[in-house]
Homo-oligomer: A and B are copies of this chain.
């Protein structure tokens, strides 16, 4: 078994005394090969350390068995879990992952060029795509599933965690528990989930006749503390309910509230997050948040994508998953 580079089906064929076609057939199930022949071929292949060249297979079959995964910022703490899940699930189906991680959202265009070049069978995207970019996918016939985003102006298959339901649960709980002065820390203006969640919270508060102060953050730890400080100023320190559109900012805010500002959480200030990342459940935080059902969502995304790879004409579908309210100890909820 002296595995060497560049062993081809011809090498195997020669050693087994058959034609190259036979070798090819021996490796695809359902092909017409005599059992004895197949055995000889497999033996020869093992002896030579032969592995079919996926590149050549891809060229002839027009199936690369590659799926592109495009994620804007992997350091988000939430995405690694998603990525790991997606990768492993796709693996089970014999599909390989071509990973594109963006330093800046604006890199998408360049990345797409590479996606086309590699003739991927499909793509799962957790980054903002313009309408033209969405159209490009459909023109090129590359099945696409958006993760936690929906197509703007164009119907596209997508998997999302319901922002409205989630924020509604949080807002309602906070309102009913008697909070009166609300603040919201949103995401950057160009983030889809950020806007969705912030708007969901704002709308639900409006439904209760409450107007909240609003500031933007960058989804990171520091933004939480900074946002909280700003909101305290804006509200003359009357703030008693802080809604953050992700957990990381909520955690940052908690730390700042306790250690810098000196507000008790949750007795003086309730703080909520969104995502359900693992630090949210740590003893020190016990964050009240909405946990995204990552396993079900990734499972759905993979299933939808594979379906569309098999049958390219399946119509777009949006799957909205309800998050689970995680009642921690960072907020007084009713």
Contacts and interface: CB of A to CB of B under 8 A. Distances in A.
Interface of A: 2-5, 49, 51-56, 58-59, 64, 66, 69, 73-75, 77, 79-81, 83-84, 87-88, 91, 96-101, 103, 113-114, 116-119, 136, 139-142, 221, 225, 251-252, 254-256, 258-260, 278-279, 282-285
B2 A139 contact: yes
* Of A91, A103, A140, A283, most B-chain CB atoms within 10 Å: A283
Contact of A5 (B53, B100, B141): B141
A118 B84 contact: no
Contacts of A5: 139-142
22 contacts: A3-B139, A4-B141, A5-B142, A49-B140, A51-B113, A51-B117, A52-B117, A53-B119, A54-B119, A55-B119, A74-B84, A75-B278, A77-B278, A80-B83, A83-B99, A83-B101, A88-B101, A91-B100, A96-B98, A221-B282, A255-B284, A260-B283
Contacts of A285: 284
A259 B5 CA distance: 57
A107 B133 CA distance: 36
Please state the number of chain copies in the assembly.
Answer: 2
A176 B54 CA distance: 58
A13 B116 CA distance: 19
Given A88-B103, A140-B4, A259-B284, A55 B53 contact: no
A2 B132 CA distance: 11
Nearest to A92: B103
A141 B87 CA distance: 26
A96 B118 contact: yes
Given A55-B55, A255-B283, 18 more contacts: A3-B136, A3-B140, A4-B141, A51-B113, A52-B117, A55-B118, A77-B80, A83-B99, A87-B100, A88-B103, A91-B100, A97-B99, A221-B282, A251-B282, A252-B282, A258-B284, A260-B283, A284-B285
A139 B98 CA distance: 25
